[in-house]
Amino acid sequence: MTGRPKTASLYKKVGIASAIMMTSVLLSRFIGLLREAVIAYSGGAQAEVDAYQLAFVLPEFLNHLVATGFLSVTFIPIFNQYLVNDNEEEGWKSFSIIFITFGSLLLGFILILLIWTEPLVGLVAPGLKDMEVKALAVRMTRIVLPGQFFFFAGGLFMAVQFSKERFFIPALAPLIYNTGIIIGGLALGPWIGMEGFSWGALIGALAGNFILQWFGASRSGMKFTLNLDLSHPDLRRYLLLTAPLMLGLSMTFSTEFLFRFFGSYLPKGTIASLNYGIRIMLVLVGLFGQAIGSASFPFMSRLAAEGRMHEMNRLLNQTIRYLALVIPFSALLIVLRYEVVYILFERGKFDAAATDLTSSLLPFLLVGAFAFSAQTVVVRGYYAMKETLFPSLFGTAAVLLSIPFFVAGMNLWGARGVALGVSLSALFQAIILYILWNRRSSNLEGKRVFRRIGEMIFLSILLGTILEVFKRTALFWFGHQGLIGALLTGVICSCLFLILLYLAGKIFRIEEISGLLNKLIRKS
């Protein structure tokens, strides 16, 4: 009798945490789109924006090398074990040792990359032949690089807050970071062009990921000591968890690297257009996958630490079924591909040609939106079990196997082929990783999850076809009315989509659809 209230309380906490993180990610993604709109206005889809995008390749490589993006999923299981055993003091000692050891290592790497920036930029963008664009990419890379220390420190500060089930202050980090980029670009852009956005990124990382998260961790009881005990067992444990992530190729990192790498061989502005399309796609990924994944992981970690695998599988399956809602929303964005890009970006230096190119890439990227969302959740199941080697090896193998598809796609279809390569790589990783998880964890509900995904795909194709025909016939006139026409087309199609989606949920008894829309209706 005590199991149900405990489980009900757990799901309630996951729901509250998911709501906080979903709100944060939604706001962050919209601010991120505003950031991209400001960048598009200032630089369009031109060579300077390509240089700005290339400036983040080495910082992201460094971020990946020290597994900054994985700090929550590698440190939370270690820290949670101390909380479960009522030994928090030792947890803070472990925190301090890991912070000092890896923070020092990171600062050394930053110094090395600052010295060797120029030849390394040539290595990661071999197709870039314009020396002025390359020199600009080198300057902006050196501006952005120091910010990786702030991301590392902030990642640890956020991890301890997540372990204490505190989500509000960590949720503010991406909002402040993106706001910093926008302010930097607007304030400094008139004098130094795209470099202003780079300075904004550095300031945003300092404010949102370091200073604010230090404050949040302090409120959570953080006890930091200058302790460099290289023999501490948690340092070895953390290294064993993190090393595979350092050496492996994650889906997020490989996506950010590969579209820029192959884009450097294509005409100027291709990297910029691919980036704009990816940011639109990541709004869906962030709203569903990132938010729910970040919120549910501390609870999955706690269930794993307590040996409650059945409940952990149940939570994972339920999360993926709700994530399948990304599929019909992706279909809506595919139908409204031109209108979305036009409304968001076509102003300033972002002209009609840039709109046409970006909107033509968007459908190929949106095909993989659900895979990106689901993978962020499935891989956390492995991390909650303190298993990082297998998903890292699998991810690396999947990325390497996908490179021929990128090459073939680029040669056959240019930028569209690169965009399709991004989606195919994500789909392959998400599907196989979940199948292997089901076998390893004796998850008996996997077939039902796949059946629900299949239903969502069929429904999405049907809804997308209806909306596309409706847009081309009933709303044809709006296509010639500029911004007002694009807005009206978007609003009318979206309303029709929600009505049809709600009816489909009722008729076919798809509880994820009716449940979500009922909640939205009640809140409105």
Parse the chain into domains and list their residue ranges. Answer: 47-229
Mean pLDDT in the chain?
A: 86
Which amino acid is located at 411 in the chain? Answer: N
Q: What Rg value do the Cα atoms of the chain yield, rounded?
A: 23
Q: How far is C-alpha 355 from the chain's CA centre?
A: 24
| Token pair recorded at residue 104 | 């020092």
Q: Are 191 and 43 in contact (CB under 8 A)?
A: no
| Token pair recorded at residue 364 | 């190929």
Q: What is the DSSP string of 290-309?
A: IHHHHHHHHHHHHHHHTT-H
Which amino acid is located at 343 in the chain? Answer: I
Residue 490 has pLDDT above 80, yes or no: yes
What is the three-state SS of 419-459?
Answer: HHHHHHHHHHHHHHHHHHHHHHHCCCCHHHHHHHHHHHHHH
Which amino acid is located at 278 in the chain? Answer: I
Q: Are 142 and 56 in contact (CB under 8 A)?
A: no
Better-predicted residue by pLDDT, 133 or 235: 133
- Which among 147, 197, 199 is positioned nearest to 173, based on CA atoms? 147
Q: List the single range of 244-248, 337-341, 418-422, 495-499 with lowest mean pLDDT.
A: 244-248
Q: List the single range of 46-50, 128-132, 144-148, 230-234 with lowest mean pLDDT.
A: 230-234
Residue 188 has pLDDT above 60, yes or no: yes
Better-predicted residue by pLDDT, 365 or 246: 365
DSSP SS3 for 406: helix
Question: For the segment 207-250, what is each residue's pLDDT rounded down to a tens digit?
Answer: 999 999 999 999 988 888 887 777 788 888 888 777 777 766 67
Q: Are 417 and 410 in contact (CB under 8 A)?
A: yes
Question: For the segment 324-363, what is each residue's pLDDT rounded down to a tens digit?
Answer: 989 999 999 999 999 999 999 999 999 999 999 999 999 9
Alpha helices in 248-388 (DSSP H): 251-263, 270-285, 291-305, 309-323, 326-335, 337-345, 352-366, 369-384
Residue 521 has pLDDT above 70, yes or no: no
What percent of the chain stands above pLDDT 90? 50
Sequence-separated (6 or more) residues with CB below 8 Å from residue 389: 244
Residue 1 has pLDDT above 50, yes or no: no
Which amino acid is located at 370 in the chain? Answer: F
> HSE on the CB side for 207, CA within 13 Å?
17
Residue 431 backbone phi and psi in degrees, to 5: -65, -50
Better-predicted residue by pLDDT, 85 or 43: 43
Q: List the single range of 441-450, 488-497, 511-520 with lowest mean pLDDT.
A: 511-520
Most confident of 183-187, 243-247, 394-398: 183-187
Residue 164 has pLDDT above 90, yes or no: no
- Which among 521, 5, 6 is positioned nearest to 303, based on CA atoms? 6
Sequence-separated (6 or more) residues with CB below 8 Å from residue 160: 75, 79, 95, 217, 220, 222
E strand or H helix at 143:
helix 131-144
Neighbouring CB atoms inside 10 A of 441's CB total: 17
Mean predicted confidence (pLDDT) in 13-31 = 66
Axis-axis angle for helices 3-43, 309-323 (nearest 10): 40
Q: What is the pLDDT of residue 410?
A: 95
Confidence of residue 517 (pLDDT cuts 50, 70, 90): low
Q: What is the pLDDT of residue 336?
A: 97
Q: How far apart are CA 513 and CA 518, in angstroms?
A: 8
Question: For the segment 253-307, what is each residue's pLDDT rounded down to a tens digit?
Answer: 888 899 999 999 999 899 999 999 999 998 888 776 666 666 677 778 778 878 8
- Which among 484, 509, 514 is positioned nearest to 499, based on CA atoms? 514
Mean predicted confidence (pLDDT) in 479-507 = 91
> Helix count (H) and strand count (E) of the chain?
25, 0
Q: How far apart are CA 131 and CA 502, in angstroms?
A: 54
Question: For the segment 66-77, what is each residue's pLDDT rounded down to a tens digit?
Answer: 766 666 667 887
Better-predicted residue by pLDDT, 90 or 291: 90
Q: How far apart are CA 15 and CA 38, in angstroms?
A: 34
Residue 365 has pLDDT above 90, yes or no: yes
Q: What is the DSSP string of 12-81?
A: HHHHHHHHHHHHHHHHHHHHHHHHHHHHHHHHTTSHHHHHHHHTTHHHHHHHHHTTGGGHHHHHHHHHHH
Q: How far apart are CA 414 and CA 408, in angstroms?
A: 9
- Which among 102, 106, 115, 127 is positioned nearest to 61, based on CA atoms? 106
Q: What is the pLDDT of residue 249?
A: 66
Mean predicted confidence (pLDDT) in 317-321 = 88
First vs last Cα of the chain: how many Å apart? Answer: 36
Confidence of residue 522 (pLDDT cuts 50, 70, 90): low
b/e code 198-234 from CB counts within 10 Å (16+ = b): bbbbbbbbbbbbbebbbebbeebebeeeebeeeebeb
Q: How far is C-alpha 29 from the chain's CA centre?
A: 10
DSSP SS3 for 2: coil
Q: What is the pLDDT of residue 2?
A: 41
Most confident of 280-284, 416-420, 476-480: 416-420
- Which among 419, 368, 395, 121 is positioned nearest to 258, based on CA atoms? 419
Mean predicted confidence (pLDDT) in 135-147 = 96
